[in-house]
With several copies, the nearest count.
Chain A
Amino acid sequence: MNNFMNDPMMLRSIIMDHYEYPRNHELKKEDGYLQKHMASESCIDDIYVQSKITDGIIEDIRFDGVACTISTSSTSIMSELLQGKTIDEAKKIIANYYQMIDGKDFDENVLQEAIAFHNVGKQANRIKCATIGWKAMEELIEESEAKK
């Protein structure tokens, strides 16, 4: 396990940075974006995630909405991490992220900043926040595949 995974200060600053300056935090009105609204299961988090996927490549990911620190930052990190990846690469990263969240073995290298959430399971009720954006993206990928 890499050092910085055990450095709370470091992990905290990653999360705060993404919470205060969320990346890709503006929805697009252009054509070609699939969109997912994630709100129904939780009383607070209410986010929209968009993605433009062309020829198996994730060209763009966007999100917006009212959300807690954990869901905002985890979605922001996801949006950076998966951007430009192929669908297959993205699926692998998503699978690794879920493995990590579930406390199972995972490949740190593909997750990069997302390892900030490796201990989110300590607060089990927040797992849904750490995965809401990822779930949305997973569904968007499925949708894009179904379209073909």
Chain B
Amino acid sequence: MLNVENIRQDFPMLQGKMMQQHPLIYLDNGATTLKPRAVIDAVVKYYEEYGANAHRGDYDLSYFVDQEYQQTREDVAAFLHAESEEIVYTSGATAGLNMVAYGIGERLLQEGDIVLSSEAEHASCVLPWMRVATKCHASLAYIPLQEDGRIDMDMLEQMMNERVKVIALAHIGNVLGYIAPMKEICALAHRYGAIVVVDAAQSAPHMPIDVKDMDCDFLAFSAHKMCGPTGVGILYGKKALLAQMEPMLLGGDSNARFDVCGNIQLKDAPYKFESGTQPIEGIFGLHAAIRYLQAIGMKEIHRYEQQLHAYAVARLKQMDNIILYNENNDTGIITFNVKGVFAQDAATFFNANGIAVRSGQHCAKLLNEVLQTSATIRASLYFYNTKEEIDRFLAVCANATMETCLDVFF
């Protein structure tokens, strides 16, 4: 069992931090997460004890950086059940997802081919494919959602054919928080020769991931949504696909050599994708974050968040002033509105009560055509949130009306 009180001790932001004269309750974990001491220390350790750049170091400091760099890659691989050559450092999920569309999209797509995605996707998952599909005269089609917002698997099966070359989907959607049946989707895709690109920005931080079992072709996520630094992320790719994929960035360190005739000999994957100085302290911090999460246990994290979520949802459902959009989801994402109050105004009411939630279209702008609302509020949980925080959140929900939401401005 997860000892939340102990865990909270690890987070400086959870040590009495106030917001608008209330103790901070941070429920915007879908946007980014707070950092434990171990991660902060790892970053500071790089600054204070290593300082050097990685790769080709001809002195001890640089060598130590190289070692940590490589060890992190191996530990990330273990975290995902992958091989270390399949792990590419990126600047984040957005970069990783773009790298795939750029690097393999044009090789896979011919005129008339199809990329499948859904209307619930984050812009970073769908827009890169929108562009490359247009460029290749292929098309992007959306797998319909069920009424509750989940991917409709029957529709997906019907949409599959030999022209479908790519399926790009979130493992957990950032607006509604459903877990997509990725293993099933991958099996289906592979039957038709399509590849599956998994946006794991919201799943890798919250549940165990086994890329071998899932059998996905690519999978991308960001460190900052899993207690790590911003500016660093991971792209997993199957070896054979990484070998075919063209790097989006060219530059120092990714090439073995090049000559005046324009011949560029790239290194093997993953190095060919890592041009230029990498986010070194970010990688140190990511390493610490992964160790920290593993020490707690990804299964335990997932289970705890589900419990907290179930607790919150049971009570929210009873509130007349709350519209809940995803009561049956599988994760810690609660998407709702206060009746009659524009989402952003309601979010401000939470702010005035010390609670950090996010309003907006959450960058899944297409989804609003399904939800029939231009904006929602999202409260997204993480393992350091407590039942007491949820109680406080529920009390504020219960109290939210047009009047109370406006009163915070006076």
- A123–B348 touching, CB < 8 Å: yes
A residues within 8 A CB of B58? 125
B residues within 8 A CB of A122? 352, 408-409
- B342–A123 touching, CB < 8 Å: no
Binds A, one of B41-49, B125-133, B183-191, B356-364: B356-364
Task: Name the residue on B nearest A42 (C-beta).
Answer: B56
Q: Known contacts A41-B271, A69-B345; decide if A125 and B409 are in contact (CB<8 Å).
A: no
A residues within 8 A CB of B402? 16, 69
- B406–A12 touching, CB < 8 Å: yes
- A124–B63 touching, CB < 8 Å: yes
A residues within 8 A CB of B259? none
- B406–A44 touching, CB < 8 Å: no
The listed residue (B66, B360, B405) touching A43 by CB distance below 8 A is B360
Q: How far is the CA of A119 from the CA of B343 in the complex (A)?
A: 20
A126 in the interface (beta carbon within 8 A) = yes
A120 in the interface (beta carbon within 8 A) = yes
- A125–B348 touching, CB < 8 Å: yes
The residues in A between 46 and 92 inclusive whose CB is less than 8 angstroms from any CB of B are 46, 66-70
Task: Name the residue on A nearest B342 (C-beta).
Answer: A68
- B407–A44 touching, CB < 8 Å: no
Q: Known contacts A44-B359, A44-B360, A69-B342; decide if A119 and B410 are in contact (CB<8 Å).
A: yes
Most buried by A among B60, B267, B345, B407: B345
B57 in the interface (beta carbon within 8 A) = yes
B374 in the interface (beta carbon within 8 A) = yes
A residues within 8 A CB of B360? 43-44
A residues within 8 A CB of B410? 8, 11-12, 119
A129 in the interface (beta carbon within 8 A) = yes
Q: Known contacts A69-B342, A125-B63, A125-B348; decide if A43 and B56 are in contact (CB<8 Å).
A: yes
Range, interface on chain A: 20 to 34
B residues within 8 A CB of A41? 267, 271
A110 in the interface (beta carbon within 8 A) = no
Question: Could you mark each residue 1-34 of chain A with 1 if its beta carbon is under 8 Å from any beta carbon of chain B, else 0?
Answer: 0000000100110011000000000000000000
- A123–B374 touching, CB < 8 Å: no
A95 in the interface (beta carbon within 8 A) = no
Count of inter-chain pairs, beta carbons less than 8 A: 80
B residues within 8 A CB of A68? 342-345
CB distance from A64 to the nearest CB of B (A): 14
B258 in the interface (beta carbon within 8 A) = no
A residues within 8 A CB of B348? 123, 125-126
B91 in the interface (beta carbon within 8 A) = no
The residues in B between 376 and 410 inclusive whose CB is less than 8 angstroms from any CB of A are 402-403, 405-410
Q: How far is the CA of A117 from the CA of B268 in the complex (A)?
A: 29
Task: Name the residue on B nearest A73 (C-beta).
Answer: B406
Most buried by B among A15, A119, A122, A123: A123
- A70–B345 touching, CB < 8 Å: yes
- B374–A126 touching, CB < 8 Å: no
Q: How far is the CA of A124 from the CA of B407 in the complex (A)?
A: 15
CB distance from A60 to the nearest CB of B (A): 26
Most buried by B among A45, A67, A70: A70
B residues within 8 A CB of A69? 341-342, 345, 402, 405-406
Q: How far is the CA of A16 from the CA of B352 in the complex (A)?
A: 19
Q: How far is the CA of A123 from the CA of B63 in the complex (A)?
A: 9
Q: How far is the CA of A12 from the CA of B344 in the complex (A)?
A: 17
Q: How far is the CA of A12 from the CA of B55 in the complex (A)?
A: 27
Q: How far is the CA of A45 from the CA of B58 in the complex (A)?
A: 13
B375 in the interface (beta carbon within 8 A) = yes
- A120–B60 touching, CB < 8 Å: no
Q: Known contacts A12-B406, A12-B410; decide if A44 and B256 are in contact (CB<8 Å).
A: no
Q: Beyond A39-B256, A40-B271, A69-B405, list 4 extra A-B contacts (CB 8 Å).
A: A15-B409, A44-B360, A125-B57, A125-B62
B residues at A contact (CB < 8 Å): 55-60, 62-63, 66, 256-257, 267-268, 271, 341-345, 348, 351-352, 359-361, 363, 374-375, 402-403, 405-410
* 7 intermolecular pairs with C-beta atoms under 8 Å apart: A8-B410, A15-B406, A15-B409, A16-B406, A43-B363, A125-B60, A129-B344
